[in-house]
A = this chain, B = another copy of it.
Amino acid sequence: MMGDDYAAVKAARVSYGQGLKTPERDRALIFYLMEHGHETPFEHIVFTFHVKAPLFVARQWFRHRIGSFNEISQRYTEIKEEEFYIPENVRVNVPEDRQKAVPVEDEELLEKARSLMVKSFEDSYITYKELLALGVARELARIVLPLSTYTQFYWTVNARSLMNFLNLRADSHAQWEIQQYAIAIARMFKEKCPWTYEAFTKYAYRGDLLEA
């Protein structure tokens, strides 16, 4: 990563032709910026993450355009057998709200759903290997692989865009799986930029999963 809370302070103070002051005043400035929606100073804090996630999560992630991505290519790299996400948290839809999903409580149903998934992943993977054995190009053989297949990518993102990611993905409206990634990202963000994180959760965070 590059920069920390002080990088935002310095970038903001250049507006007034000034630099760092006391920690108290620097911290207060961060809270002031966040409260008043002055977000550009936070663009000077930059992170790079190496992420491993299922394709359906990666697809949601890549919708965030302000950032840089380099992803493993399934056109050129062969997928390994164990590379599928098998959910422990299986959700069912709620009749009264079609956009909502709650965890299955029925153990039997849970196991049934999971075993259906595992079987399907295995079958798809067998077909994938059969296609490769026939000589079919990797870029084409992979189209039988499911959305649960893991991928990997590098993500470089500034703190402003990262906070926007948290607003949308560290939120109960996001799919549960990407919520978990967002919470993990938030934890690292908090550790590296404690003042910015605290000010963010206080003034600018629009989701409902993170706490100061």
Contacts and interface: CB of A to CB of B under 8 A. Distances in A.
A90 B136 contact: yes
Contacts of A21: none
Count copies of this chain in the complex: 4
A124 interface: yes
Interface in A50-74: 50, 54-56, 59, 62-63, 65-66, 68-73
Interface residues of A, number: 80
Contacts of A121: 144
Interface string A105-149: 000010011001101110110010011001111111011111110
Main secondary structure of the interface of A (DSSP, over half): mixed
B139 A101 contact: yes
Contacts of A12: 70
A195 interface: no
Contact of A147 (B17, B54, B104, B142): B142
A112 to B, nearest CB: 6
A69 B10 CA distance: 12
A76 B38 CA distance: 16
Contacts of A44: 48, 68, 70, 154, 156
A22 interface: no
A104 B2 CA distance: 44
A85 B70 CA distance: 26
Contacts of A66: 65
Nearest to A80: B17
B14 A71 contact: yes
A148 B144 contact: yes
A131 B143 contact: no
Contacts of A59: 55, 59, 62
7 contacts: A7-B48, A15-B70, A17-B77, A44-B154, A75-B175, A91-B139, A124-B146
